[in-house]
Amino acid sequence: MAETIYSNEDILNMLDSLLKEQSKFNWDAFYSERGRPVPFFVNAPDENLVQYFKNNLIIPGGRVLELGCGPGRNAIYFAKQGYDVDAVDLSNEALQWGNERSKEQGVSINFIFKNIFDLDIQKSEYDVIYDSGCFHHIAPHRRIDYVNLLNQGLKAGGFFGITCFVENGIVGGSDITDWEVYRQRSLKGGLGYNPEKLKMIFQDFQIVEIRRMQDIEQPSDCFGTSGLWAALFQKKAD
């Protein structure tokens, strides 16, 4: 019967629905206005991602999954480093933009229109999973699913890279508690994090680096803002 809870998945879906009902935000509308002065609309990869390759923390070639890829700026960079790229997003507008960008730059990317929690990921499928700005829009009740996705998809020794809001940072990052998310039925535009919380959430993984992104003045060949954390983790050997 409708609106009856029989399982943990029913609880998760109910909480998803309650938060979605309260939110008026629409990602397709957001990405349809390409001329808006949104910092990450630039067609350039994250500065930390570029540094991972320059410092040989991540090596060229392999398979990568990007979560919440938006218009594809990091997916394109991975493709140029010799990766087979699966890039997923909930916005058709963002994926269309990403398709146009990838064709202009002569790279092939498998763009996927889907909720990340509906992906059918094979065990140890990816060398890298990367998330630039998706995680801070994930509600607390989905964090376990998120970590399970990483554990399922990453090869032993594989890397997980993430950029996410600093608490009360210059580009966003609410400091409300997880419980307050449900009292207010809102993520307040995106949750902010600190290094201790990131270490706790991703405690299954070895920390390679957690730092502020560097501020990068545009135009540039990479993107960066100190309002985001940049973290790199490695999956431990089985």
Q: Catalogue all structural domains in the chain, each as residue range(s) with its CATH number.
A: 41-63+70-83+90-111+123-235 (3.40.50.150)
Position 237 scores a pLDDT of 83
Residues of the chain under the 50 pLDDT cut: none
HEC profile of the chain: CCCCCCCHHHHHHHHHHHHHHHCCCCHHHHHHCCCCCCHHHCCCCEHHHHHHHHCCCCCCCEEEEEECCCCCHHHHHHHHCCEEEEEEECCHHHHHHHHHHHHHCCCCCEEEECCHHHCCCCCCCEEEEEEECCHHHCCHHHHHHHHHHHHHHEEEEEEEEEEEEECCECCECECCCHHHHHHHCCCCCCECECHHHHHHHCCCEEEEEEEECCCCCCCCCCECCCCEEEEEEEECCC
Length of the chain: 238
Position 21 scores a pLDDT of 72
- The rounded distance, in Å, linking the Cα atoms of 137 and 186 is 10
Q: Using an 8 Å Cβ cutoff, are 132 and 74 in contact?
A: yes
Position 23 scores a pLDDT of 78
Residue 70 burial (CB count, 10 A): 25
Provide Rg for the chain, Cα atoms: 17
CB-neighbour burial class of residue 226 (10 A; exposed 0-12, middle 13-18, buried 19+): middle
Position 1 scores a pLDDT of 54
Closest CA to 160 of 83, 41, 52: 52
- The rounded distance, in Å, linking the Cα atoms of 26 and 12 is 21
User: What are the angstrom distances between the C-alpha of 87 and each of 25, 98, 174?
Assistant: 22, 10, 27
Position 24 scores a pLDDT of 78
